[in-house]
């Protein structure tokens, strides 16, 4: 955080000093909500959660060095008492960003949203902007009413770029987030079926996602996916200039897209004449060959979206190309690849899932399996509403059509995936259903053999997140044991 006194925190949040706070206490560190992460000078926000009450850990936070505690009830530690801790953090974040912009006019705020690819694109944006200036783009998906303010409150005097991911579960959610942190550059990646059960229709999802460009001023830039009709149709909703990207007709284009043997995208990044930066300077035109280290064809589109934003903010084309060629995945369980002994590959993409991202992951698996056996371990895609059974059934049928060798559907919500695969007709015993992660792990330990490619994909709370690391550890242990036994047999 930018340095604040307790009195300034109270004034910004409409709170009052309690617990012996004098008002002169100085917050010089971060804002944190986990007392185990507190360091000297931090602000600890005590949330009364469903399972844990942060007020019970307020004294521990102070003992660990917290300069101040944000409270909704007085527990006797130096703090600021507020009515709602989440609203107070939002107020603090808004105030800190306004202060940072006033003292540093060159600060650029970049925000990204979409039904799929937000976190991967945010990670690419962070790596691109770090090439140019001190940047905040934390790993993971801090894209909601709590995570975004905490990200903004990471601002320091040195920060010159703030990269934010914005998610939504309903109309008005992104508007709330942009009210905290108005972007200078806003990217919309796609409109899909994520949270369809909460929104009700793709049109409602598009309405919500487009709120991100409505927040732009006329000096900003909207970066829109020309290949997605619902995204392209958002252009009239902003007063800012619109720059498009895509594989078809677009300003910045992906050309000659192919995948290598390891399913890494190769393409030419085409930059046209006539594009200008935020500061009015011209962006050099050109064609730049790119080979990504990231897994999957869809990463090329995340990359060109991120590249477009970086170019608009002043990162040079050659720097953009160099960073994209070396960029690594930063957030776990998103096409996270483990190469194991025996030539086994485990791709853990179980942080989240919707029908669009499921299709992309399965196509990547099919590409990796052109000369290898493929195993798809799939869990439930949540929040799909009345279309849930149909969309899961379609996923099972897609597994068959892509010639994936074996399917394991995990959990009751994923049963229609198994049923759809069986009904497709060309699957015999290649699909099986298991009820729990434990059963899935046992099946995989018996079934996986050298050379296999295994994909794990599900929504975050469907359980497969727990399976990835356990499977990798189990397969490594099995390989080590087999190698040891073979060595002992040869020396016996």
Q: Mapping DSSP to helix (H, G, I), strand (E, B) and coil, where does residue 131 land?
A: coil
pLDDT score of 491: 46
Q: Rounded CA gap, 477 and 309, in Å?
A: 44
Share of the chain above pLDDT 90, in %: 81
The CATH number assigned to the domain with range 336-484 reads: 3.90.190.20
Q: What is the pLDDT of residue 232?
A: 97
Domain boundaries, the chain: 4-83, 88-326, 336-484
pLDDT of residue 485 exceeding 60, the answer is: no
Q: What is the pLDDT of residue 447?
A: 94
pLDDT at 142: 86
| Dihedral sign for Cα atoms in the order 446, 449, 454, 460 | positive
CATH code of the domain occupying 88-326: 3.40.1190.10
Distance CA 160, CA 37 (A): 25
Average pLDDT over residues 304-319: 97
pLDDT tens digits along 42-56 = 999 999 887 899 999
Q: Residue 115: name the closest of 187, 223, 216 by CA.
A: 187
- 294-306 per-position pLDDT tens digit: 999 999 999 999 9
Mean pLDDT confidence for 147-156 = 96
Between CA 307 and CA 310 the distance in angstroms is 5
What kind and span of H or E run contains 477? helix 464-491
Residue 37 has pLDDT above 80, yes or no: yes
What is the CATH superfamily name and number for domain 4-83? MurE/MurF, N-terminal domain (3.40.1390.10)
């Amino acid at each position: 955080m930018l340095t604040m006194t307790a009195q300034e925190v109270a004034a910004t949040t409409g709170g009052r000093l309690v617990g012996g706070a004098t008002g002169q206490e100085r917050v010089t560190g971060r804002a944190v909500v986990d007392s185990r992460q507190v360091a000297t000078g931090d602000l600890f926000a005590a949330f009364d959660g469903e399972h844990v009450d942060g007020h019970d850990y307020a004294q521990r936070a102070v003992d660990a060095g917290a300069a101040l505690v944000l409270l909704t009830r007085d527990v006797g530690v130096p703090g600021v008492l507020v009515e709602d801790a989440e609203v107070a953090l939002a107020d603090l974040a808004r105030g800190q960003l306004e202060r940072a912009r006033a003292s540093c006019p060159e600060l650029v705020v970049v925000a990204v949203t979409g039904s799929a690819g937000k976190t991967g694109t945010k990670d690419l944006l962070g790596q691109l902007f770090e090439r140019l200036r001190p940047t905040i783009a934390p790993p993971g998906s801090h894209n909601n009413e709590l995570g975004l303010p905490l990200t903004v409150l990471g601002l320091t005097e040195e920060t010159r770029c703030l990269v934010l991911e914005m998610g939504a579960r309903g109309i008005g959610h992104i508007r709330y987030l942009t009210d905290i942190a108005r972007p200078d550059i806003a990217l919309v990646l796609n409109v899909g079926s994520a949270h369809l059960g909460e929104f009700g229709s793709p049109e409602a999802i598009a309405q919500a996602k487009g709120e991100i460009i409505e927040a732009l001023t006329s000096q900003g830039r909207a970066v829109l996916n020309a290949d997605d009709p619902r995204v392209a149709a958002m252009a009239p909703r902003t007063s800012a200039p619109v720059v498009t990207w895509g594989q078809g007709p677009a300003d910045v284009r992906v050309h000659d897209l192919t995948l290598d043997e390891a399913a890494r995208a190769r393409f030419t990044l085409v930059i046209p004449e006539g594009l200008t930066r935020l500061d009015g300077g011209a962006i050099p035109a050109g064609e730049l060959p790119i080979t990504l280290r990231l897994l999957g064809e869809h990463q090329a589109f995340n990359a060109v979206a991120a590249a477009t934003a970086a170019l608009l903010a002043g990162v040079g084309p050659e720097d953009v190309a160099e960073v994209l060629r070396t960029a690594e995945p930063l957030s776990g369980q998103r096409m996270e690849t483990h190469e194991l002994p025996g030539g086994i590959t485990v791709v853990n993409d179980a942080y989240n899932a919707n029908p669009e991202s499921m299709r992309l992951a399965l196509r990547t698996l099919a590409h990796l399996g052109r000369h290898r056996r493929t195993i798809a371990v799939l869990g439930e895609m949540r929040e799909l509403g009345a279309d849930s059974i149909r969309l899961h059934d379609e996923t099972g049928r897609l597994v068959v059509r892509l010639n994936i060798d074996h399917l394991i559907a995990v959990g009751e919500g994923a049963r229609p995936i198994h049923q759809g695969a069986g009904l497709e007709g060309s699957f015999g015993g290649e699909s099986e259903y298991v009820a729990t992660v434990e059963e899935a792990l046992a099946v995989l330990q018996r079934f996986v053999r050298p050379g296999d490619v295994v994909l794990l994909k599900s929504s975050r709370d469907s359980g497969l997140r727990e399976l990835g690391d356990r499977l990798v550890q189990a397969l490594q242990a099995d390989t080590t044991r087999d190698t040891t036994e073979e060595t002992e047999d040869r020396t016996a």
